[in-house]
Structure 1
Amino acid sequence: MSSTPPPSATSPETASGAVLIRSAADVSDLVNSGTARGRHARMIVIIALGGIFLDAYDLSSLAYGLPDITKQFGLSSAMAGLVTASISVGSLLGALIGGWLVDRIGRYRVFMANMLFFVVTALVCAVAQDAWTLIVARFVMGIGVGMDIPVAIAFLAEFSRLRGKGSKGSRTAAWSPAWYAATSGCYLVIMLLYFLLPDAQLGWLWRFTVGFGAVPALVVLLLRRRYMNESPTWAADQGDLEGAARILRQSYGVDARVADDVPARAPRPPRPGLASYARLFTPPYRARTIQSVTVGVAETFGYNAVAFGLPIIIATLMTQGPLTTIASSFALNLVFALTGGLLGIRWASTKGAWPMMTLGFAIQLVAITLLGLIGQPSGTAVVTAGILMLGAFMFAQGFGPGAHIMSYASLGFPTSMRGVSIGFNQAVLRLGSTLTLFFFPVLSSGLGTDVYWVILAAPVLGLTALLVKRWEPVGFDADAEERARPAPETAAHSGTAEHSGKH
C-alpha cells in the first residue's frame, strides 16, 4: 500500500516555515498526510460525532414509549407504525436535500442550520396532544436528522488523515459507537425516569424522554458556533485557496499560505445541481454506489428490526416485564453494540472495512438463525440464550456493518460528490428504515417468533453483496483518483476503465 506523499512534495515550506499552497491537491495532501493537526480540528470531529449522537437519540427515543402512545391516542397498529416511521420518512427527504446542499453551499452552513430542527421539534413532540401533531413533528425532526448525517460524515472524512491512527476509515467508523452511545443513553434516561416518576405518571415517560433531546442539541449548537469551520478540501475544491489556507491556520495551526504566483481564488467550478446524483451511476462510481446501497439496505433492515424492535422482542416475544425490557435493551446497546463499535474504530485502519463487514454479517446470520430455531423461549436458561443471541447480533453490528456502511458510502467518492453519495445512500436506507419501522410492529404481532426468518434476509443480502465484489474503501484516496482521470472529452476517445479500488 503506497503512502500519501508528504506535504513538502507538493507544498514546499518557505524559509519562515509557511506551507505554500498552489492547488486543491496540495490542501488534500496536507490533510491526508496527517501533518496538519490541531485542537480545533479534533473538536470539529467530536462535534460531528455529537450530531450523530443526536440523530440516534431522536430516532430511538420513542422505541420504548410506543405502547403508551398507542394507548393514550387510541391508535391502530397501522397508525402506531406511522408514528414510528414518520421520522424515517422525514430523514429520507432530508438526506436527499442535505446531501445536495452539502456539496453545493458547503459543509459548515448546512451543519449550523439543521440543529434548530432538533431543538424545536423535540419540544413539540414532548407536548403533542394528538397523534398527527406527533407525526408531523417527528417528520420535521427527521428532515434535520437526514440533513445532518451527510454533513457529519463529510466532516469526519475531510478532517482526518488518509491512513494510520485517526484515519478517515477510523473516524467514519466512529459514527457507530456514537450511535450506540446515544441509544444506550436514551435507555438510561428511560430507566432513570422509570424510577423517578410515580407509577401513575409512567404514561408520560415517553414525553420526558423525547423532550430531553433538546438539551444535548443546545449544547452541540453552542459548541458548533465556537469551534466549527468549513472543510478545507471543500473550500479548495470550490477554487477558494485563500479560504482553505485560512481554515488550515485556524483549525490546524498550520501556517498555510497561497503561493504568490497562484491566484487566491481560482475559477469556481459549476455548482452541483440535483442532476449531480446521476454521476453516482457513471464509471467508476456505479459499482460502488450499488454495493454501498445494497449493504446499507441489509444493515438498516436488520438493525431497525432488532435494535429498534428490542422492546417489542423482549416484552412480547420473550414475555418479559417492563423493567427487564428496559434493562435488557440498555445492556444490549451499551455492553454489546457500543463495545463492538469501539472495536470497529480500532480495527478499521488495520483490517479494513470489507473483512469486518463480512464477519459481522456472518455472525448475524448465525444469531438470527438460532433465534428462529429457539422460537418462543420458555425457562430462564432459554430466555438468557435468546438475549445473548440478540447481544451477538448487536456486537457484530457494532464492529461490522454498523461501523463501515459509512466508509462504503463516503470514502470511495471524491470531495466534489461526497455529499450526494452519502445523501443518496441515506435516502435509500431511510426508505428501508421507514418500511421496517412501519411493518415490524405488524409483522411481529402477526408472525410472532417467525418474524426472525424475515429478519434473516438482512445478513443474507449483505453477505451476497460483499462476496460478489471485494471493494475496500478504507485507505483509498478518491480525490487523487479523480485528479488522475482524463478529462471527459479525452475519456470519450480512450475509454475509462473502472478502478477496482482493491489494494
Structure 2
Amino acid sequence: MTINNRSIEDVPLNSFHKLLTVRSAGGSFVDGYVLSIIGVSLIYMTNALGLSGFWQGMIAASALIGIFFGGFLGGWLTGRLGRKRVFFIGPALFVLSSVAQYWVESAVALFLLRFLIGIAVGIEYPVATSLLVEFLPKKYRGPRLAMLTIMWFAGAAFAYVLGNFILNVGGENGWRLVLASSALIGVALFIVRLGTPESPRWLLSKGRSAEAEQIIKQVYGADFSLANLPEQPKEQKVSVWNLLHSGYGKRMLFVTMFWSCSVIPVFAVYAFAPKVLQALNLNGEWASFGSVAITLLFVIGCVIATRLINSMGRRSMLIYSFLFSGLALLGLGAFHDSAPLLILVLFGAYALFIGGAQVLQLVYPNELFPTEIRAQAVGVGTSLSRIGAAVGTWLVPMSLESLGIANTMLAAAVVTFVGLAFAWALAPETRSLNLQQAASLG
C-alpha cells in the first residue's frame, strides 16, 4: 500500500480550484461594478436630485464608509461562523440595495443605500479571499488571488461600458436603471456560489477535524487526509488581539498603509473620472474615450502583474509599482495643461504601473496571518484602508475647485510615495513559502 505524503499545497490545480476562483472572483467583479457605476450616473443624478458638492462627495464616499464597517463585520463573522455561511451575505445585500436605488428620491436615501452596498463589499473581502487561499496550491496562490483584483477592474470597466449604454437607451430614468443594474450580477453571483464547501483549515482551527478530513477527500481525492494538510493546531492560540502587537502588529501596519496608499488615488479617480478628465482639458470624445481606455489599462496592468507575481516576487513588485505610478502622477501634476494625448499617456502609465500594488492588496494579508486571524486581518486591512480612501474621495470635488487639478494630482503622488516608503521598509517576500510558513513569525 502506497502512503500519500504529498502536501495539498503541492497538488496540481483541479476543477474545484477553478470553480472556487470563479466563485470568489465573481464577488470582486460585482465590487468593481457597484463601486464604479456611481461615476457613470453621478452627473445625471446630480441634476435629477439637485445634489450639492457636499452630497456629491458624500454619496461617492458612502460605499467606502460602508466598506469600513463591512470589513470589520465580515472579518468577525468569517472567523466566528466560518467561510461558507458568510459567502452568501454579500450577494444578498448587493441585490436588495441595488434594486432599492431605482426608487430613490433624496440624497440621504441614496447615501444610505450606497452605504449598505459598501458593507456588502467590505464583507466580501475577508470571506472570499480567505476561503480561496485556504484551498489553493502554493504555486497558484499569488496569481489566483491577484486574479480577484483583475476581476475588480474588469467589473469597473464593464460598469462604464454597460452604464453608458443604459444611459443612452434608458431615457429620463436611465441613471436609475444604471444604479439598479448591479442587482442582476448579484443574483448570478448568489447562484454560482451554491454548493461551496467549508474551509478545512477553519474547521481544523475549531477542532472539527472529522468534517475537515471529509472535505479534503471530497476536493483532493480519497487518498488525501488531514495528514496532507500542512497546518497543525498550535499549542498557543492566536487571537484577533495579536493584530495589534508583536510581529503581527507590524505586519498589520504594513498591510494597512500600503493598501491605503494604493487605493486612495484609484478610488478618487474612479468616483470622479469625468470631472478629473474634464479638469485635465479632456472633453467630448476625448473624455469618453479616456474613461474607457484608462479603465482597460488598469485591467492590463493587473494582468501583467499577475503574470509576474511569482517570477518577480512580492516585495520587488510592490516597490516598483509605487515608484513608477507615483512618477506618472507627478507628471500629470506638472503637465496638467498639456495636449490630450500626453495626458492620456501619463494617466495610462499610472494605470499600468499601479497594477502591482493593486493585485498585492489581497495577496499579502492572506499570506501574512494564520488561519485563526486571517479573515480578521483582511477585514481590518479592508476597513482601515478605506478611511483614507473615503476621505480622499470626499475631498476630490472640493480639491478640484479650491486647489486645482495640478495640486490634486501632486497630492495623489505624495500619497503614492508614502506607500513606497512603507513598502521599502516593511514589505516581506513570501512567494516560495507555504501558507503556514508565510504566516509564521519565526
**TM-score by shorter chain over 0.5:** yes
Give the CA RMSD over aligned residues. Answer: 2.4
Alignment counterpart, residue 371 of structure 1, candidates 323, 326, 332 = 332
In the TM superposition, residue 30 of structure 1 has moved relative to its aligned partner by 3.0
Give the secondary structure class of the aligned counterpart of 1:114: helix
User: Is 1:40 equivalent to 2:16 in the alignment?
Assistant: yes
In the TM superposition, residue 246 of structure 1 has moved relative to its aligned partner by 1.8
User: Is 1:218 equivalent to 2:181 in the alignment?
Assistant: no
User: Within 5 A, what are the aligned runs for 1:143-222?
Assistant: 143-163=119-139, 167-197=140-170, 201=171, 204-222=173-191
Percent identity between matched residues is 24
Tell me the equivalent position of 1:240: 208
In the TM superposition, residue 180 of structure 1 has moved relative to its aligned partner by 0.9
User: Within 5 A, what are the aligned runs for 1:439-454?
Assistant: 439-449=395-405, 450-454=407-411
Distance in structure 2 (CA, Å) of the matches to 1:194 and 1:65 = 8
In the TM superposition, residue 417 of structure 1 has moved relative to its aligned partner by 0.9
Larger relative helix fraction: 2
Distance in structure 2 (CA, Å) of the matches to 1:249 and 1:365 = 47
Tell me the equivalent position of 1:282: 245
Distance in structure 2 (CA, Å) of the matches to 1:287 and 1:301 = 21
In the TM superposition, residue 19 of structure 1 has moved relative to its aligned partner by 5.4
User: Is 1:356 equivalent to 2:317 in the alignment?
Assistant: yes
Tell me the equivalent position of 1:383: 340
User: Is 1:333 equivalent to 2:288 in the alignment?
Assistant: no
Distance in structure 1 (CA, Å) of the matches to 2:114 and 2:237 = 31
User: Within 5 A, what are the aligned runs for 1:304-343?
Assistant: 304-321=267-284, 323-334=285-296, 336-343=297-304
In the TM superposition, residue 114 of structure 1 has moved relative to its aligned partner by 2.4
Distance 1:134 1:270, change over 3 A: farther
For structure 2, the 5+ residue unaligned runs are none
User: Is 1:395 equivalent to 2:352 in the alignment?
Assistant: yes
User: Is 1:431 equivalent to 2:387 in the alignment?
Assistant: yes
Give TM-score scaled by structure 2 length. Answer: 0.92
Distance 1:279 1:122, change over 3 A: same
Is the Cα–Cα contact under 8 Å of residues 399 and 408 in structure 2 kept in the other structure?
yes
Distance in structure 1 (CA, Å) of the matches to 2:251 and 2:142 = 16
Tell me the equivalent position of 1:404: 360
Tell me the equivalent position of 1:3: none
Counterpart amino acid of residue 35 in structure 2: L
Distance in structure 2 (CA, Å) of the matches to 1:120 and 1:80 = 23
Deviations 1:277-330 (CA, angstroms, capped at 9, x unpaired): 321123321221111111111101121223333221112332412x54333211
Give the secondary structure class of the aligned counterpart of 2:193: helix
Deviations 1:326-377 (CA, angstroms, capped at 9, x unpaired): 332112111x111111111111111111111111111112111111111234
Distance in structure 1 (CA, Å) of the matches to 2:189 and 2:415 = 34
Alignment counterpart, residue 31 of structure 1, candidates 8, 23, 30 = 8
Distance in structure 2 (CA, Å) of the matches to 1:224 and 1:44 = 8
Deviations 1:400-442 (CA, angstroms, capped at 9, x unpaired): 1111122222211111110111011001111112111211111
User: Within 5 A, what are the aligned runs for 1:49-198?
Assistant: 49-163=25-139, 167-197=140-170
Counterpart amino acid of residue 11 in structure 2: G
Counterpart amino acid of residue 267 in structure 2: N
Distance in structure 1 (CA, Å) of the matches to 2:240 and 2:396 = 31
Distance 1:158 1:455, change over 3 A: same
State the structure with more CA Rg.
1
Distance in structure 2 (CA, Å) of the matches to 1:426 and 1:290 = 12
Distance in structure 2 (CA, Å) of the matches to 1:456 and 1:258 = 48
Deviations 1:127-160 (CA, angstroms, capped at 9, x unpaired): 2122211111111111111001111111231121
For structure 1, the 5+ residue unaligned runs are 1-14, 21-28, 260-265, 486-497
